[in-house]
Chains A and B, each alone.
Chain A
Amino acid sequence: MALALVTLLAACASTTPPPPRQAASELAAVPFFPQTAYQCGPAALATVLVHSGVATSPETLAPQVYLPDRQGSLQLELQAATRRAGRIPYTLDTSPEALLAELAAGNPVLVLQNLGLRSIPRWHYAVVVGYEPTQQRVILRSGTERRREERWSRFMASWARAGFWGLVVPPPGELPASASAEGIGPELARQEAQLEPALARAAWERALLRWPEDPDILFAAANARRMEAGPERAATLYQRLLRLAPAHQAARNNFADLLLQAGCPAAAARIIAPARAAAPGLAPPVRDAITSTAAAIASQLTDNAIDPAHCRALSEDLPKP
């Protein structure tokens, strides 16, 4: 979906968006690392990383992102190096509004520009640190220039030729100002295996504060809590989610598994029952997980079993199936 949007925007980018009427903003404190030959990737990445509190330099980052034969750095490797530095890279929603929202929130934006033509591209990374509305100028840390001003229309044309690609690296536990509930879930989940569990969980918890009723974020935060903060705190979230969305079968499965592992097979059986009934109509991974969980519960459940006392704390607020 996001990819389709990028392609669509790139395809009709001959008309650039008009300069927005916005108060002037400039993040003057953002550091500057002048690039050496072809090293705009490490320089731009160091700019946003140091601003988010990481002690690093272009020299440290170059062996992590620079491809000598390509004389440049790839977007995916800038993201990977960000994760290695203990930060989460968020790709920006492809719009000028998102860019300005990030500036207003104090986040510089690492952008990819195509300074050449579509057919003869000149790819370049720079960091947007400000916008000046009366002159309609974008202010960048770029190449060897600490404070480069570009006309809005020219900047937007070069950014459009690069698919409006932008990267935000907020301090740990913060989210981009322009993030949406639909965007943040897939963005975090696809990177989670490459992140420190505590860092990922902090991001899910922050997303949960911003979108407390979003089922997918509740689900993800509950899973992250289970890995990081123990079953009780996860159980609270699974219950909140199942009250909001009783048909969230993946949540039923994971909550039932949690209860089973905690030695509460009777409560687990009550939770998994509706999911088991719905399983035949579900996608294979969810269906198989439910079947497997239900079988594990059945093997531990004896007739008229009553769970031990500690199970009450985990499941006293059970939603009715």
Chain B
Amino acid sequence: MLKSRLFVMLQIVALLVASTMGTAQAAVIGNAEHFAQQDRSQQLAQIDAVLARDAVQQQMVAMGVSHADAMERIGALSNAELQQLAQSLDTLPAGGSALGVLGALFLVLLVLEILGVTNVFSGI
């Protein structure tokens, strides 16, 4: 009981320290901030960085990435990138392979391939 209380207190202190550290250096304009002024989407991305981080980590683990790997992968992503992934990790293009057949779509694709519209099969 006491331990969990202490833990919560520590978390609150850590959060306060983290939130004040961000404002302490407001006197200098950083490169990211300077160039982000030309791009509003990046400014908005700053807001929910913590939420995005959690969301991406959960989705990665759900998609079969180990906890440890997910942590490291998230650490290598910027806030704006995390924001983007949090919204569309399951829909963004995932380059995989030219291998593999799409079942019922096989014939359609084969016809298109012969007509020269696609190049799925020559990619194998």
Residues of chain A whose beta carbon lies under 8 Å from any beta carbon of chain B: 35, 37-41, 44, 63-65, 67-77, 79-81, 83-84, 112-117, 120-125, 142-143, 150, 154, 158, 162, 185-186, 188-194, 216, 219-220, 223-224, 250, 253-254, 257, 283, 285-286, 288-289, 292-293, 296
Q: In the bound complex, do residue A123 and residue B95 qualify as a contact, i.e. CB atoms below 8 Å apart? A: yes
Give how many B residues have a beta carbon under 8 Å from the other chain's beta carbons.
53
Q: Which residues of B contact A194 (CB under 8 A)?
A: 76-78
Cα-based distance from A219 to B28 in the complex (angstroms): 12
Q: Which of B62, B72, B90, B96 contacts A40 (CB 8 A)?
A: B96
Chain B residues within 8 Å of A, Cβ to Cβ:
26-39, 42, 60, 62-66, 69, 72-73, 76-78, 80-81, 84-85, 89-90, 92-100, 102, 105, 109, 112, 116-120, 123-124
Pair B95/A80 contact, Cβ less than 8 Å: no
A-chain residues with CB within 8 Å of residue B116 when the two chains form the complex = 154
Which residues of the other chain, B, contact A191 by a CB distance below 8 angstroms?
Answer: 78
Contacts A63-B66, A68-B63; A80 near B81 (Cβ below 8 A): yes
Judge whether A70 and B123 touch: CB under 8 Å. no
Residues of B within 8 A of A38 (CB): 96-97, 99-100
A120 x B31 contact (CB < 8 A): no
B78 touching A72 by the CB < 8 A rule?
no
Q: Which residues of A contact B33 (CB under 8 A)?
A: 285
CB-based contact A296/B119 at 8 Å: no
- The answer to whether B118 and A117 have CB atoms under 8 Å apart is yes
Whether A70 pairs with B28 at a CB distance below 8 angstroms is no
**CB neighbours of A193 from chain B (8 A):** 32, 78
**Could you tell me the distance between the alpha carbons of A285 and B80 in the complex, rounded to whole angstroms?**
18
A94 to chain B, nearest CB (A): 15
Contacts of B97 in A (CB 8 A): 35, 37-40, 71-72, 124, 143
- Contact check: which of B28, B31, B62, B73 meets A220 at CB < 8 Å? B31
Contacts of A220 in B (CB 8 A): 31, 34-35
Interface centre among A81, A124, A224 (most CB of B within 10 A): A124
Are A81 and B76 closer than 8 Å at their CB atoms? yes
